[in-house]
Amino acid sequence: MKIAVVGATGLVGSKMLDIFTERNFPVTSMVPVASAKSVGKTIEFKGKKIPVVSMENAIAAKPALALFSAGGNTSLEWAPKFAANGIKVIDNSSAWRMDNAKKLIVPEVNAHVLTKEDYIIANPNCSTIQMVVALYPLHKKYSIKRVVVSTYQSVTGTGKKAVDQLFHERNNTEGEKAYAYPIDLNVIPQIDIFLDNGYTKEEMKMVRETCKIMQDDSIKLTATAVRIPVMGGHCESINVAFENEFELGEVISILQSSPGVIVQNDDAAQLYPMPLGAHEKDEVFVGRLRRDETQTKTLNMWVVSDNLRKGAATNAVQIAEYMLENGLM
């Protein structure tokens, strides 16, 4: 199977290449695609050096599938052109997520809605993906009324420039800045631009995407998204109120048996999820499970996942796996 990765030289694109190999996806030919300035450079895939090509040449190569991770404007311009040539597209940007005609997919939650007619499929926001993987099995059992989430997000979510800024500051060297403020020894309570309602675009992505993925507009969600000086994964403190009463032991049992979830919840052993433990893993880690003692039917939980993997690249490859296994491409 011929596969294209658009944005193959970026953090998420390069991770997609790794994950195709790790998960033994049946790639017979890889077509790496990037911006004009990267055309002619090479990437390594399965031990081979492969030249980066232009968008036009990628379409001409007729891959069966293209994974996009090159920004919203690129996706808006080029994804329809790939689709018009019979190429299935899984897009990692925000370009198509809230388009009513496009599916927004987390395989553990809603892959079943995909059909052969879906040519452009949206990959959700990284912070949304890990949250819904943890919440969906509980929603099925107890029915979620309201979610209050605060995120603590890795600099890798911004990209290489942000990673470089963190280490320039840590090493006291000069370099380009991805943020308006220092990130080392600091916390920035802004991810993406501010909207008219006072929330950031990142926060409102979580609100809207969650309802679409879980196919339930009745869920009320409010978010605060924060950038912190770590690598390895995003963390989320989630307070979730249910329609129905729950037993904590049953909550733990449900999560332990849920696909893509690993429970790390042992107070005595000081066992709980952290970015260091989630780094380079594909699962969503859940811990600090406890009742909210201020109101009924309400749970506190701590959720951590590698944002470059399950939050982006792995989720996209898992969508591709589902499509292949179910004859959708």
Residues tagged active-site: 126, 234
Q: Which residues contact 117 (CB under 8 A, 6 or more apart)?
A: none
- Taken as a whole, the chain contains a residue count of 329
**CA 161/CA 156 separation, integer angstroms:** 9
Contact 7, 64 (CB under 8 A): no
Give the helix/strand (H/E) hosting 209: helix 201-213
Query: How is the chain split among helix, strand and coil, in percent rounded to 5?
Result: 35, 25, 40
SS3 51: strand
Torsion sign across C-alpha atoms 24, 27, 28, 31 = negative
Contact 104, 220 (CB under 8 A): no
